[in-house]
Amino acid sequence: MTDRYTVISADCHAGADLLDYRPYLEKRYHDEFDAWAATYVNPYEDLLADTADRNWNSERRLAELEADGIVAEVVFPNTVPPFFPSGSLMAPAPTAEDFERRWAGLRAHNRWLADFCTAAPGRRAGVFQILLNDVEEAVKEVRSAAEAGLKGGLLLPGTPPGSGLPELYSSAYDPLWAVCAELGVPVNHHAGSASPPLGDEPAARAVFMVETTWFSHRALWHLVFGGAFRRHPELRLVLTEQGSGWIPGVLEMLDYYHGRLVAAATRASTAESKFGAGLAARMGAAPSQVWRDNCFVGASFMRPHEVPLRDRIGVDKIMWGSDYPHDEGTYPYTREGLRNAYARVPRDEVAAMIGGNAARVYGFDLDLLDPIAAKVGPTVEEIAEPLGEPPADATSPAFAKGASVRVW
């Protein structure tokens, strides 16, 4: 057994530089793209900075991740794809023509991502994008992306209030769950794409911080109560960068309502029986059982106060992530972040949470990755040592005041 951990980040981000998407667009969109790109102004400061090429510079990316002790990554999108004004899945299109162009833009991103993953064989699992306004097109893109080798699975958009989309519990999405279950494609729901617009008042930022993860959590109970896992028992859901400490309490709450509604459905002529009618058969197993059978958490830079909950969450369910190249990520202090969270945690549990579980969910080959980790991975002894003071210039919330409180 090696004395180093094989670290796989289950939460990284990448995308092409804007003009580099052009070759991946269907030719019939090239003129429209040229006109759009000529006037487009990127709203994201980090995509205009000198470090923006971390999103697409394959060699730089590999070097920096290895220097940080990471040998493989699950790659979520980050840059703006063609015909989108901003973040791809948070920008409702006003017309059918806009939807068509944005679909073309997402397909271009997915094609680019397949090539980007191929540039580092076995070390990147790309997460492809879809829109939910046309389920038939989404199903086609799932099949196309899977055939292209994008092992990271599907990025499930949110359905925030006001989006005009059916809620995620709707049977309208059943063909999507069916194809993902059939092909073994993980369904990922990343924080940030499910919140409704909140306006520009100063309080909006604080409200967003309070509510954004809750809106992302909704995917769990929508799919559970909608019966997606009952109808498609091979379906896998991954909730990424939404924290993990909330999971035990929410599962208890969902179990309570599940049991209450099932029981109410058996009682005729009661007020609650109306709420339970038709649900008992549709929902299937209790939410906590569904979690054990079908769900995972991309816990990203897991905070120390969350670690004592790992048995209640499921050690086999937790996947750590660095969030590279975001400022809130742990780079270049991933080793310190791992020490801060996992010091004194048993070695086999650490190995599962920071690499083994991600390898299992996303299909990474540990026979390929372990020899690389033997050269660049953090040592078991190193991670076992409590951190003490965090690096003075660390920007990740993993090191934030209060994040190190332990509840043993």
**Is residue 407 one of the residues assigned to a domain?**
no
Q: Which of 318, 350, 170, 144 is nearest to 247 (CA)?
A: 318
Tell me what pLDDT residue 11 has. Answer: 98
**Is residue 308 one of the residues assigned to a domain?**
yes
Name the percent of the chain in helix, strand, coil, to the closest 5.
50, 10, 40
User: Each residue of 146-184: pLDDT tens digit?
Assistant: 999 999 999 999 888 888 889 999 999 999 999 999 999
Q: What percent of the chain has pLDDT over 70?
A: 95
Question: 281 is in which domain, residue-wise?
Answer: 7-399
Mean of per-residue pLDDT scores for the chain = 92
Tell me what pLDDT residue 406 has. Answer: 33
User: Each residue of 227-266: pLDDT tens digit?
Assistant: 999 999 999 999 999 999 999 999 999 999 999 888 887 7
Tell me what pLDDT residue 183 has. Answer: 98
Please state whether the peptide bond connecting residue 325 to the residue before it is cis, i.e. omega within 30 degrees of 0: yes
CB 227 within 8 A of CB 181: no
**Is residue 2 one of the residues assigned to a domain?**
no
User: Each residue of 323-350: pLDDT tens digit?
Assistant: 999 999 999 999 999 999 999 999 999 9
Q: What's the domain count of the chain?
A: 1
**Is residue 51 one of the residues assigned to a domain?**
yes
User: Each residue of 116-148: pLDDT tens digit?
Assistant: 999 999 999 999 999 998 999 999 999 999 999
CATH number at residue 330: 3.20.20.140
**Is residue 1 one of the residues assigned to a domain?**
no
**268 falls in which pLDDT band (50, 70, 90)?**
low
Tell me what pLDDT residue 407 has. Answer: 32
**Is residue 358 one of the residues assigned to a domain?**
yes
